[in-house]
Amino acid sequence: MTNAHKDALFVLVKSLSKSEKRQFKLYVGRLGVNTDAKFLALFNLLDKIKVYDEKLILENGIVKKAQLSNLKAHLYKQILVSLRLNPVNQNIRVQIREQLDFATILYQKGLYKQSLKILDKAKATAIENEEKNVAYEIVELEKVIETQYITRSIPDRADELAIQAKKLSELNVITSKLSNLSLQLYGQMLKIGYVRSDDDLNRVKKYFDKHMPKYQIEDLGFREKLWLYKAHLWYSFLLQDFLSCYKYSSKWVDLFYDNKEMIYLNPVFFLKGNHYLLESLFYVKYSSQFKETLERMEKIVESKDFPDNDNIASLAFLYINLNKLNLHFLEGTFEKGLYLVKIVEYGINKHKDRIDQHHVMVLYYKIACLYFGIGDNKTCIQYLKRIINNKNLKMREDLMCFSRVLSLIAHYEAGMDYHLEVQLKSTYKFLLKMNDLHAVQKEMIKFLRRLGDIFPHELSNEFQKLYDELKKYENHPYEKRAFLYLDIISWLESHLQNKPVAQIIREKAKSITR
């Protein structure tokens, strides 16, 4: 996701690879008159400077202030045209669009037969590759041409096109409804997280049932099934039904492996499907299949046939490293996971224009948990501060809430209890404001508040009381979400058994043989 605070043209220029810059200059230089073009001079200047500076551009005398906006718009368009011509960007989707453009030009010249021939081939390719929106556009243009290019076969042709248009339209409507439902559920997940009460549950169920279109599974193609599984997945995530999440994310990923050509045509959806499957496996603690899924995804991503562009590189970095961190949490191998910190920090900086703040904060939270797991509470606190102090984070209120709760625990463990009372009040107010003060958090705050009045010899008994109280909520339909963000039970067990928390988690992982 591009940083909105930067100039769009500057960000685009800086995103170009060496080969893309070389091609752009060759594209501009195809006509001799362009070699001294003002927009090329602007391109060269933007390529050299490290920070966008409008004053510097004007001082170079390339253009006057009044003309700068138009020149920038022209350069932006020329870069996009050049990128479109780049063989790297010539995927099936672009090729079909190009054929549709060619057919439209031929139709406008009155060359109906040639136009229909191109459209027929483009339509077959579009349907074969599940590009049903553009297939519908092609059929609609065919209908227009057939009304002007009269042949003896027009009665049969009219029926054929009408049936095709109706079928494609019906499938496109189903896809649209499913994609809308999926997007709305995803939005709710980002904004408020999991359902927190019976009212939340009933609201989500009612919304899901109302907006789920009627369909026959045998009538659905790849694209329709993909959006169907997505909608069910987000519905399951909201309800914290992680076995159902596993079911639908598996269907999503299997859909790609059963249609391997779609992996390379829709690499983003392939990556996302694998990520949600891994997330589901993480929540149900299925570590052996987690490893297999992650390794299989990495192998596909590293293969020479897998598409390679900036967006895919950013997503691959995000999903692979996020799940590598999760694997260390599953196995309790926090120390071994520390090598990922430098990789993640470097990747965040490298992909900063394409990874949104929400996902950056999730990575910081995971790193904070990694340091908490090895007992480096001060470093844990430093990473949590990046989340807590982020005033621009509007999504995932639950991430903000549990960052504050983990910060309280880390301050206690680090012996920094001189800040604890102020933080307790601040966290309590924040949770009330977010309407997120639930039983697990209440018990944690009550416990931390009492610490100042507890004698050392009474501490073990107090940990046991808190453990017994929280254990009740481990499988509670709404309270269990607290344990997804922070393994409080293992932390308490580490105090009760006088063992490092990483050892407790490792022992639990070994006992789950699946």
Residue 107 vs residue 392, higher pLDDT: 107
- Alpha-carbon 323 to chain mean position: 13
Indicate if 116 and 143 belong to the same structural domain. yes
The H-assigned helical ranges of 420-487 are 420-433, 439-450, 459-471, 482-485
Q: Which residues contact 421 (CB under 8 A, 6 or more apart)?
A: 452
Domain co-membership, 85 together with 59: yes
Tell whether 85 and 13 lie within a shared domain: yes
For residues 75 and 111, state if they share a domain.
no
Same domain assignment for residues 33 and 76: yes
Q: Are residues 13 and 50 in the same domain?
A: yes
Q: What is the mean pLDDT of residues 241-259?
A: 96
Tell whether 155 is covered by a domain: no
* 134 found inside a domain: yes
| pLDDT tens per residue, range 428-443 | 777 777 665 677 777 8
pLDDT of residue 434: 65
**Does residue 96 share a domain with residue 85?**
no
pLDDT bracket for residue 386 (50, 70, 90): very high
Give the per-residue pLDDT at 425: 74
Beta strands in 219-345 (DSSP E): none
**Residue 133 placed within a domain:** yes
Over residues 197-213, mean pLDDT: 92
Q: Do the beta carbons of residue 407 and residue 435 sit within 8 Å?
A: no
Residue 216 lies in a domain: no
State pLDDT tens for residues 152-161.
456 678 888 8
Mean pLDDT value across residues 76-83: 90
Higher pLDDT pick, 193 / 5: 193
Lowest mean pLDDT among 54-68, 158-172, 185-199, 409-423: 409-423
Q: What is the average pLDDT value for the chain, to the nearest integer? A: 86
Q: With contact defined as beta carbons under 8 Å apart, do 478 and 239 qualify?
A: no
Taking the CA atoms of 352, 356, 357 and 362 in sequence, report the sign of the dihedral they define: negative
Is 185 in contact with 208 (CB distance < 8 Å)?
yes
Asked if residues 167 and 224 have their Cβ atoms less than 8 Å apart, the reply is no
This prediction's pTM: 0.81
> Among 74, 89, 104, where does a domain finish?
89
- Neighbouring C-beta atoms of residue 414, cutoff 10 Å: 16
Q: Quick check: 394 pLDDT over 70?
A: no
- For residues 27 and 84, membership in a common domain is answered with yes
403 vs 123, more confident: 123
Task: State CA 288 to chain mean position distance.
Answer: 24
432 occurs within a structural domain:
no
Total length of the chain:
514
In a shared domain, residues 101 and 142: yes
Segment of 2-16, 86-100, 239-253 carrying the highest mean pLDDT: 239-253
Residue 127 placed within a domain: yes
* Domain containing residue 97: 92-150
Q: What is the CA radius of gyration of the chain?
A: 28
In a domain, 30, yes or no: yes
Domain shared by 126 and 63, yes or no:
no
Burial of 236 (0-12, 13-18, 19+ CB in 10 A): buried
- Domain identity same for 146 and 110: yes
Note whether 106 and 40 are same-domain residues.
no
Least confident of 16-30, 159-173, 448-462: 448-462
Number of domains in the chain: 2
Least-confidence region, from 252-261, 314-323, 414-423 = 414-423
- In-domain check, residue 34: yes
